Amino acid sequence: MAFELRDVALVLPDRRIGTGSLAVEGCHISAIREYPVAVPVRAVLPGLVNCHGHTAMTLLRGCGSGLPLKRWLEEAIFPVEAKLTPDDVACGMTWGALEMLAGGTTCVADMYDFPREGGRALAATGMKGNVCRVGLAFAADNPPGRLEECIRFVEEWSDGRVVADICIHSEYLTNEPFCRALAEANRTLRRPLHVHVSETAEEHKACLARHGKTPIAYLADLGLLDCGGYAAHCVHCTDGDFAIMREKRVTLVHNPSSNMKLGSGFARIPEALAAGVNVALGTDGCASNDNLNMFEEMHLAALVHKGRLGDPTVLPAWDVLDMATKNGARALGRSDTGELAVGKKADLCVLNLTRPHLKPCADLANLLVYSAQASDVEQTYVDGELLYDRGVWPAIDAASIRADVEIRHSRLFSCASE
Ligand SMILES: [Zn+2]
In 12-114, alpha helices (H): 69-71, 78-81, 86-102
The stretch 256-281 carries a mean pLDDT of 96
Q: How far is the CA of 212 from the centre of ligand 1 (A)?
A: 24
Ligand 1 centre distance from Cα of residue 100 (Å):
16
Q: What is the mean pLDDT of the chain?
A: 95
Phi then psi for 109, rounded to 5 degrees? Answer: -100, 115
- Tell me which residue of 408, 414, 346 sits closest to 88, measured CA to CA: 408
Supply angle C-alpha 257, 235, 321, rounded to 5.
Answer: 55
CA-CA distances (angstroms) from residue 97 to 77, 150, 291, 332, 347?
21, 24, 11, 18, 15
With 0-12 / 13-18 / 19 or more C-beta atoms within 10 angstroms meaning exposed / middle / buried, residue 359 is exposed
The contacts of residue 357 (CB under 8 Å, 6+ apart) are 371, 373
* 35 CB burial (10 A radius; 0-12, 13-18, 19+): exposed
Per-residue confidence (pLDDT) for residue 416, from 0 to 100: 43
Q: What is the pLDDT of residue 136?
A: 76
* d(CA 404, ligand 1 centre) in Å: 25
List, in sequence order, every residue forming a beta bridge with 196; answer none if it has no partner. Answer: 170, 232
384 CA distance to ligand 1 centroid (A)?
A: 30
Give the Cα-Cα-Cα angle 355, 358, 359 (nearest 5 degrees): 90
- Read off φ and ψ for residue 197, nearest 5 degrees: -135, 130
Q: Residue 386 Cα, ligand 1 centroid: separation in angstroms? A: 29
| Ligand 1 center from residue 93 Cα (angstroms) | 15
Residues near 86 by beta carbon (within 8 Å), at least 6 away in sequence: 114, 116, 117
Angle between helices 86-102 and 115-125 (to 10 degrees): 30
pLDDT confidence of residue 11: 98
Average pLDDT over residues 212-232: 98
CA of 37 to the centre of ligand 1 (A): 42
**How confident is the model at residue 93, as a pLDDT?**
98
CATH fold of 48-331? TIM Barrel (3.20.20)
| Alpha carbon of 169 to ligand 1 centroid (Å) | 8
Nearest-angstrom CA–CA distance, 182 and 186 = 6
Output the CA 196–ligand 1 centroid distance in Å. 6
Domain boundaries, the chain: 2-46+344-389, 48-331
Residue-level pLDDT at 417: 46
* pLDDT reported for residue 142: 66
Ligand 1: centre distance to CA 206 (Å): 19
pLDDT at 116: 94
Yes or no: say if 280 and 321 are a contact pair by the CB < 8 Å rule.
no
Q: Give percent of the chain above pLDDT 90.
A: 87
Instruction: With a cut of 90, say whether residue 410 has pLDDT above it.
Output: yes
* Per-residue model confidence as pLDDT tens digits over 282-298: 999 998 899 999 999 99
Q: How confident is the model at residue 306 (pLDDT cuts 50, 70, 90)?
A: very high
Per-residue pLDDT tens for 53-81?
A: 999 999 999 898 888 888 988 899 989 99
Ligand 1 centroid – CA 375 distance (Å): 24
Report how far ligand 1's centroid is from the alpha carbon of 69 (Å). 11
In the reported structure, the alpha carbon of residue 147 is separated from the centroid of ligand 1 by a whole-number distance in angstroms of: 21
CA of 91 to the centre of ligand 1 (A): 19
* Amino acid, single-letter form, for residue 322: D
Distance 232 CA to ligand 1 centre (A): 7
> How much distance in Å is there from the Cα of 43 to the middle of ligand 1?
31
> 97-156, pLDDT tens digit by residue?
999 999 999 999 999 999 999 999 999 999 999 999 988 776 556 677 888 888 999 998
pLDDT at res. 68:
84
pLDDT tens for each residue of 339-356: 999 999 999 999 999 999
Helices (H) and strands (E) in the chain, counts: 16, 16
Q: How far apart are the CA of 28 and the centre of ligand 1, in A?
A: 32
Topology adopted by domain 2-46+344-389 = Urease, subunit C; domain 1 (2.30.40)
Length of the chain: 418
Closest Cα partner for 121 from 156, 94, 158, 96? Answer: 94
For residue 136, report the distance from its CA to the centre of ligand 1, in Å: 14
- CA 284 to centroid of ligand 1, rounded, Å: 5
With a cut of 50, say whether residue 418 has pLDDT above it. Answer: no
Q: How far does the centroid of ligand 1 lie from the alpha carbon of residue 363, in Å?
A: 33
